[in-house]
Structure 1
Amino acid sequence: MDRADIVHENFLRRVASGDLPAGAVPSGPLGAAEAVAIYRAGCLSRALDRQSRDMQKAGQGFYTIGSSGHEGLAAVSAALRPTDMAFLHYRDAAFQIARAGQVPGQSITWDMALSFACSSEDPISGGRHKVLGSKALNIPPQTSTIASHLPKAVGAAYAIGAARRHKPEHRTLPEDAIVYCSFGDASANHSTAQGAFNTAQWTAYQSIPLPLLFVCEDNGIGISTKTPRGWIAATFQNRPGLKYFRCNGLDIYETFRVSQEAAHYVRTRRKPTFLHIGTIRLYGHAGADVATTYLPREEVESEEANDPLLHSVRMMAEAGALGSAEALAIYEETNARVARVAARAVARPRLTTAKDVMTSLIPPKRLCRPTNGPSAEARAAAFGADLKAMEEPQIMSRLINWALTDLMLEHPEIVMMGEDVGRKGGVYGVTQKLMSRFGPDRMIDTLLDEQSILGLAIGMAQNGFVPMPEIQFLAYLHNAEDQLRGEAATLPFFSNGQYTNPMVIRIAGLGYQKGFGGHFHNDNSVAVIRDIPGVILACPSNGADAARMLRESVRLAREEQRVVVFLEPIALYPMRDLHGERDGAWMSVYPAGNEKIPLGEVGVHGDGEDLAIVTFGNGYYLSRQVEMRLSEKGVKTRIIDLRWLSPLPADTLIEAVRGAKRILIVDETRRSGGIAEALMALFTERTDIPHARLTAEDSFIATGPAYAATMPSADAIFDTAMALTGGKT
């Protein structure tokens, strides 16, 4: 017999016969009505778990990771407020069910049945995944099983205090809210979780408000790997800046009392707390997982005998809240009701086309207050003598600095965060003076942890801010890329556009830094960013474009709720000259404040028909250097600057190369997985123009004199162009 059926039959038999497990006497502030509501939530969670397995067997359901054994989380939910944003562990169905009872107008049984059936009418994901979540209940959907939602919970908690000081236009959390974040004992060991704990402690240690309630649901096992007995308590009960609470999750009275105490501590002290809840896991990890294949049967049966619903029945009877017969009737009625509801839910429509699935990849636009740019007085106060300097051509890094200043003056919800962005002004000075202009609340110097930097941004974005996190070097993104892929990009997708985390992520990167840093500071791989659905990747090649594209990127985040990665070529930050020393041809005058380069608009220099060079970033700079040499050989060129690397501006590119006899793609990223692969495919599919590519080698970048040896050079561009057009060098 299936273990779920065994647990079910045991419950019926033991409650009917009065054979209930021994335990503590019920005590604490939990009233009779609340206790019964918590028990009802547990019964519904249990019934849904059993129903999900029946649905899967019938080919009508598609998810069986259940919450059985974790029903005590309903008591935690009862101790919180519906306005407390909750990032839930995937075994927290009872928490969501209990919260639904606190908010009028909910149909939680129907909603969760639709979710198990992957119906397009599922109110949270629209049938894209079985996730816990609800806009009405303030529960953003989570898909992570490895605690990757913890960094953004830290960010959301930080945002509550930040919003008190600088209220964003689209704030979602009240001032007295706390953030709830739960996870399992196994995932507490993941590096992402450990980074989040450390960041919370680091923040609290500095007396910065962080109203965050971490909840570890300790059932002692992760799939088949056991957590060493006592490990969670030993590693968390004495951490500085992280208050530790503990309760028995099988005892709803104790769990409610301790959860109230922990929530009160967080709400009044505005400090992070770790609540350790002892639970059990029933049935194994999921429907296909048979626990007795890796655990002794005696151990499995011992856990089943400790069923938390049996404990609740006993304790409610002892407290005079509900008799055993009434408890059994509630359990049986709940199972029957879930079966009836599920029979209707499986007949509801599902997603059938790629278009339907992809509808929520792009978030909906939102109405924002109109802005006309910062006032002259505000600009004069912020820029000082820089206003006069704006009349003269400047390098890229300085124009980015001025664009950031204007944007932060115009939009008070913009917050920047990253290592060294504040006091130092960034490794390359791009954010110099911004700390003195806007203060530490809006220029946040973070600890050295890219996962936490991005998590801070994601969480703050969910409370109405427009974050602009900085990743110091492109190579440093790779240890945190799941925060983009698994969290930021998926949030609108799995919430059917109801939840968003708009932001502009600034990353200094690409190659050509002379003799500096090797592959940690020169990194020409952007494949991981382009591979994330819904994320925009921008890359300017000069200062004026950088300012205009940065303004468009902020507009995309603020108004269209997009996640934008703004890749800044480090080697071009200080570039002044193009053809010769002191020609100043690569500097630009700061563009007027209303000038933007719209998403998908490419840059076209020249109108030659012999050759169209399609490139970006440093490649555009090098191609411009070659332009005169080609002209002298009779090759008339046009040079097309992509600007927007993802999504690729396909239609605009096809128009830009129209009339050209040859196309040369110059790509400073690697031959495998680089931009050129997509461009070659595009021109093959949609034009009959002969085309070739010049790319970087499939190599890391060396330090010292060989810093550019693996990437395209001006000479290589010239030679390849001449060979392609039939000329002689």
Structure 2
Amino acid sequence: MPRSEIVHESFLRRVTARDFPSGKAPEPGLSAADAVRLYRAQCLSRALDRQSRAMQKAGQGYYTIGSSGHEGMAAVAHAARPTDMAFLHYRDAAFQIARADQVPGQDMCRDMLLSFACAAEDPISGGRHKVLGSKALTIPPQTSTIASHLPKAVGAAFSLGLARRHPPEHRALAEDAIILCSFGDASANHSTAQGALNTASWTAYQGLPLPLLFVCEDNGIGISTRTPNGWIKASQAARPGVRYFAADGLDLYQTFAVAAEAADYVRRCRKPAFLHLRMVRLYGHAGADLPTTYMAREEVEAEEANDPLLHSVRLLDLAGALAPDQALAIYTETLDRVAQVAAEVVTRPRLRTAAEVMESLIPPARPCAARNGPGPEARAEAFGADLKAMDEPQPMSRLLNWALTDLMVTHPEIVLMGEDVGRKGGVYGVTQKLFTRFGAGRVMDTLLDEQSILGLGIGMAHNGFLPVPEIQFLAYLHNAEDQLRGEAATLPFFSRGQFSNPMVVRIAGLGYQKGFGGHFHNDNSLAVLRDIPGLILACPSRGAEAAMMLRECVRLAREDQRVVVFLEPIALYPMRDLHRDKDGLWMDHYPAPDQRIGFGTVGTQGTGRDLAIITYGNGVYLSHQAEPALRAAGIDLRIVDLRWLAPLPEAAIRAAAQDCAAVLVVDECRRSGNLSEALMTLLADHPCKARLTAEDSFIATGPAYAATLPSAQGIVTAALALLR
């Protein structure tokens, strides 16, 4: 017999016989009516778990990781407010059900069954996944997270304090709100969880507001791997700046009392807390998991004997809130009601086509207040003496700095964050003076943890800010790429565009730094960014273009709610000269603040029809260096600067190359897995084409820094060979 049936039959038998597990008397705090409501939420959560297994067996449902054993989370929901944003563990159906009871017009039974059935009418994901989440309940959707939601919970909590001082235009959370995030004991060991907990502690230790309640649901096991007894308390109880609370999650009354105390502490003190709840896991990890294959039967049966629903019936009886026979009737009536609703839900339409699935990849545009750019007085105050320097051409790094200044003057919801971006002004000086111009509330030096930097941005975007997090080097992104792939980019997809986290991530990257850093500071692979659905990847090649593209990236985030990565070529930051020393040909004047380069617009220099060189970033610079030698060889050429690397502006690329006799793709990234592959496929019909790429190698330090990369001479050689 399946464990779900064993637990069910045991519940019926033991309630009828008044055979309850031992435990404490009910603690004060819950009224009889509230306690009964929470028990009903627990019963609905259990009934949904049972129904999900029946649906899967019948081929009508597709996901069975349930919440059985974790029904105590209903009491945590009751201790918080519906306006407190909650990032939930996937075993928290009882939390969402109990919260729905606080908000009129909710039907969690039908909504969750629609999600189980992957029905297109599922109100949160539209049939794309079985997720917890609800716009009305302030619960962003989460899938099978391994603590990847904790960094953004820290960011959302941090945003609450900042929003009190600088309310953003699209503020989403109440001024006195707190943030909750829940997770399992196994996930607490993940580096993402450890980073988020450390960041919360680091922030609170400095006295900064961070109203965040961590809720660890400790059932003692992660799939089949045991959590050492006492580990969670030992590792969390003394964390600096984070107050520790603990309760028996099987005890509805005690869980509410302790959760209410913890939530009140977080709300009043604006400090983080850690709520440690003892739970049990019933039915195994998921529908196909058999716990008796890796646990002794006696151990499994001991967990089942501690069924939290049995504890709730005992406590309700002792409190005089509900007699056992009444509790049993609620349980069986709930099972019947869920089965009836499920019979109708499984007939509802499901997604069928690629277009239907992909409909929510891109979030909807949102109305924004008109911003006419910074006025003369505001600009004069922000720029100071730099205004006079705008009369002269400047390298990319300085033009980016001025673009950021203009954007921050225009849009007060923009917040910069990253390692060394504040007082130091960035490793390469791109953010110099911004800390002085805008203060610590808008230019933040973070701790050294890329997951926390991106999580801070994602969380702040949940509350209406427009974050501009900086990853110091492209190679450092790999420590945190799932924050973009698994969290930021998936949010509109799994919420039908109801939630979004728009931001512009600045990353210094690519190669050609002379003799510095090796592969950690010269990373020439974009594969990890180019294959994230919905993400925009932009890469400028010279200063004026960088300023105008950055403005467009901010517009895309602010108005279209997009997640944008702005990749800045490190080697071109200080570049002044093109062909000879002090020719100044790679510097630009600062473009007027209202000038932008539109999304998907490629840049074409020259009108030659013999050869089109299609490239980006450093490749544009090298192609211009190669141009005189090619023209001397009688080749009339044009240089096509892609600018927008994901999604590729395919029509514009074809149009830029269609009337040329030959096409040379110059890709400074590695031959495998990068842009040149997509471009060669796009140009498959062109009769004369070739590509010049970097080798499939890491980059060396010292004199060989460019040995594996395309060069100006390499472009000349490749072009001549192609045309021959």
Aligned to 1:246, what secondary structure does the other structure show?
strand
1-structure distance, mates of 2:75, 2:608: 72
Per-residue deviation at 1:388?
1.1
2-structure distance, mates of 1:607, 1:380: 40
Per-residue deviation at 1:27?
1.4
Asked if 1:719 is matched to 2:709, the reply is no
CA deviations over 1:337-391 (Å, ceiling 9, x no partner): 0000000110001000000000000000000000100110000001111111111
- 1:636 is aligned to 636
CA deviations over 1:648-667 (Å, ceiling 9, x no partner): 01000010112100000000
Q: Letter of the 1:256 partner, please give it.
A: F
Q: Letter of the 2:587 partner, please give it.
A: M
Q: Is this contact kept in 2: 1:663–1:689, CA < 8 A?
A: no
Q: Letter of the 1:230 partner, please give it.
A: G
Per-residue deviation at 1:267?
0.3
Per-residue deviation at 1:508?
0.3
2-structure distance, mates of 1:576, 1:488: 36
Q: Letter of the 2:541 partner, please give it.
A: S
Aligned to 1:113, what secondary structure does the other structure show?
helix
In the TM superposition, 1:134-149 aligns within 5 A as: 134-149=134-149
Aligned to 1:133, what secondary structure does the other structure show?
strand
In the TM superposition, 1:142-541 aligns within 5 A as: 142-541=142-541
CA deviations over 1:385-441 (Å, ceiling 9, x no partner): 111111111000000000000000000000000000000000000000000000000
1-structure distance, mates of 2:458, 2:519: 27
Q: Letter of the 1:423 partner, please give it.
A: R
1-structure distance, mates of 2:2, 2:174: 46
Q: Letter of the 1:210 partner, please give it.
A: L
Question: Which of 690, 693, 708 is matched with 1:692 structurally?
Answer: 690
1-structure distance, mates of 2:526, 2:63: 34
- 1:647 is aligned to 647
Aligned to 1:598, what secondary structure does the other structure show?
coil
2-structure distance, mates of 1:499, 1:57: 33
2-structure distance, mates of 1:304, 1:452: 38
2-structure distance, mates of 1:41, 1:319: 18
In the TM superposition, 1:72-111 aligns within 5 A as: 72-111=72-111
Q: Letter of the 1:388 partner, please give it.
A: K
RMSD: 0.5
CA deviations over 1:147-176 (Å, ceiling 9, x no partner): 000000000000000101111000010110
Q: Letter of the 2:618 partner, please give it.
A: N
Q: Letter of the 2:103 partner, please give it.
A: V
- 2:605 is aligned to 605
Q: Is this contact kept in 2: 1:144–1:486, CA < 8 A?
A: no
Per-residue deviation at 1:271?
0.5
Aligned to 2:416, what secondary structure does the other structure show?
strand
1-structure distance, mates of 2:177, 2:535: 30
Per-residue deviation at 1:688?
2.7
Per-residue deviation at 1:61?
0.3
Aligned to 1:352, what secondary structure does the other structure show?
coil
2-structure distance, mates of 1:243, 1:617: 48
Aligned to 1:478, what secondary structure does the other structure show?
helix
- 2:699 is aligned to 701
Q: Letter of the 2:455 partner, please give it.
A: G
Q: Letter of the 1:460 partner, please give it.
A: M
CA deviations over 1:65-99 (Å, ceiling 9, x no partner): 00000000000100100000000000000000000
Aligned to 2:180, what secondary structure does the other structure show?
strand
- The list of structure 1 runs, each at least 4 consecutive aligned residues, that deviate by more than 6 angstroms after superposition, is none
- 1:126 is aligned to 126
Aligned to 1:183, what secondary structure does the other structure show?
strand
Q: Letter of the 2:446 partner, please give it.
A: T
Per-residue deviation at 1:144?
3.7
Q: Letter of the 2:694 partner, please give it.
A: A
2-structure distance, mates of 1:210, 1:169: 21
CA deviations over 1:221-270 (Å, ceiling 9, x no partner): 00000000000011111111110000000101100000000001000010
Per-residue deviation at 1:307?
0.5
CA deviations over 1:580-600 (Å, ceiling 9, x no partner): 111100000000111111111
1-structure distance, mates of 2:85, 2:723: 61
Per-residue deviation at 1:725?
1.0
Q: Letter of the 1:406 partner, please give it.
A: D
- 1:26 is aligned to 26
CA deviations over 1:593-619 (Å, ceiling 9, x no partner): 111111110000001111000000000
1-structure distance, mates of 2:60, 2:156: 36
Aligned to 2:624, what secondary structure does the other structure show?
helix
Per-residue deviation at 1:21?
1.1
Per-residue deviation at 1:689?
3.4
TM-score (norm 1): 0.99
2-structure distance, mates of 1:429, 1:299: 60
Per-residue deviation at 1:644?
0.4
TM-score (norm 2): 1.00
1-structure distance, mates of 2:143, 2:591: 43
2-structure distance, mates of 1:422, 1:359: 39
List alignment gaps of at least 5 residues for structure 1.
none
- 1:710 is aligned to 708
Q: Is this contact kept in 2: 1:602–1:643, CA < 8 A?
A: yes
2-structure distance, mates of 1:691, 1:355: 33
Q: Letter of the 2:571 partner, please give it.
A: A
2-structure distance, mates of 1:75, 1:626: 69
For these two proteins, the number of residue pairs brought into alignment is: 724
CA deviations over 1:512-567 (Å, ceiling 9, x no partner): 00000000100001100001000000000000000000000000000000000000
